[in-house]
Amino acid sequence: MTNSSPIAQDFLTRGRCETCPVVDMHGHYGPFRGIYFPSPYADGMLRAMDRAGVARVVCSSHTSLVDPERGNREMAQVIRDHPDRFLGYRAVNPNYPDQVEAEIARFPHDAGFVGFKFHPSGNCYPLTGDNYLPALEYAHQQRLIVLSHTWGASQYDSPEMLGEVAPKYPDATFIMGHSGYGEWDAAFGVARDNPNVYLDLTAAYKVAGIIERICREVGSQKALFGTDLPWFDPYYCIGCICFSHITDDERRNILHRTADRLLAPFLTGSQPPEGKQERRGSD
Ligand SMILES: [Zn+2]
């Protein structure tokens, strides 16, 4: 099978594409209950990133989804250790409103956090619920990014629910995690109707034709590359982009340009993704 994309050719022959540094907008960090990850910590994640030419990943620690104080502290340390490679989403657990306030108060004191991670399904609390309001208002005031897990037909975080929330906070940027997996038409409509809503491709890759549909029906400038690293290897996800029936211009938008644009306000004085990558021993 031939693939005429120069980006795909670079990945196939060199394992990475120097002119297309990948930015991963949906990562995690650390172990997760009941799952074996070979490389859940920074050293292993960096090895996977270096192999595939991933310049940067924006993560929430798994622990932070349940215990934000401990997990966000853990994430802050990873960012301090590797400021050119890791950025963070500060998770909040809406079941504990006083802790949501505490995480907002801590937000300005840790470098490298670009916004919040919501996992309404994981916390069994609706995205439209009142306990998220302080974080949403803060994200709007401070022009932050909110990555929310979304899933088709979920009672906690369906695309329709994100469509209800996003227009109320126009200065916040919303990333629809997993592109509302399964309820594609609804998710695409929310992304089209709201300038501040973007689609995250994590897990959506495995549905045949979905990347082509996003490029055609929403636009590649609204699509973001994500992996759920350390759950999935970047190569699998990059391969899905390389072998989709889209143009290299669209591949670049998905793999880094859209992310570069969203992250630019947070990277003042920091190394741009195109810059040096600390080379680590391969494999
Ligand atoms: Zn995730």
Q: With 60 as the cut, is the pLDDT of residue 77 above it?
A: yes
Surrounding residues of ion ligand 1, Cβ less than 5 A? 228
Length of the chain, in residues: 283
**Residue 180 within a domain:** yes
Ligand 1 geometric centre to CA of 257 (Å): 21
Residues 48 and 70: their CA atoms lie apart, in Å, by 25
Helix (H) or strand (E) holding 90: strand 86-91
Ligand 1 geometric centre to CA of 29 (Å): 10
In this prediction, residue 278 carries a pLDDT of 40
Ligand 1 geometric centre to CA of 149 (Å): 7
In this prediction, residue 268 carries a pLDDT of 77
**Residue 249 within a domain:** yes
Q: pLDDT tens, 18-37?
A: 999 999 999 999 999 999 99
- CB-based burial label for 282 (10 Å; 0-12, 13-18, 19+): exposed
**Residue 15 within a domain:** no
Mean pLDDT of 234-238: 95
Q: With 90 as the cut, is the pLDDT of residue 41 above it?
A: yes
Q: pLDDT tens, 157-199?
A: 999 999 999 999 999 999 999 999 999 999 999 999 999 999 9
**Residue 10 within a domain:** no
**Residue 209 within a domain:** yes
Ligand 1 geometric centre to CA of 195 (Å): 23
- Bridge partner list, 21: none
The domain tally of the chain equals 1
Give the helix ranges, DSSP H, for the chain.
6-14, 42-52, 68-81, 97-106, 120-123, 133-142, 159-165, 184-193, 210-217, 234-242, 248-252, 258-263
Residues 44 and 82: their CA atoms lie apart, in Å, by 13
Under a CB-based contact definition with an 8 Å cutoff, are residues 238 and 49 in contact? no
Range from 1-15, 55-69, 132-146, 202-216 carrying the lowest mean pLDDT? 1-15
- CB-based burial label for 87 (10 Å; 0-12, 13-18, 19+): buried
Residues 126 and 108: their CA atoms lie apart, in Å, by 26
In this prediction, residue 269 carries a pLDDT of 61
In this prediction, residue 2 carries a pLDDT of 75
Looking up tokens 């089209």 gives 192
Ligand 1 geometric centre to CA of 1 (Å): 32
Strand 197-200: give its sheet, edge to edge: 22-29, 54-61, 86-91, 113-118, 145-151, 173-181, 197-200, 223-224
pLDDT bracket for residue 276 (50, 70, 90): very low
Residues 181 and 110: their CA atoms lie apart, in Å, by 32
Torsions phi, psi for 208 (to 5 deg) = -60, 130
pLDDT bracket for residue 3 (50, 70, 90): confident
Q: What is the residue range of 189's domain?
A: 22-266
The CATH number given to whatever domain includes residue 227 is: 3.20.20.140
**Residue 255 within a domain:** yes
**Residue 172 within a domain:** yes
Ligand 1 geometric centre to CA of 61 (Å): 10
Work out the percent of the chain whose per-residue pLDDT is above 90: 92
**Residue 273 within a domain:** no
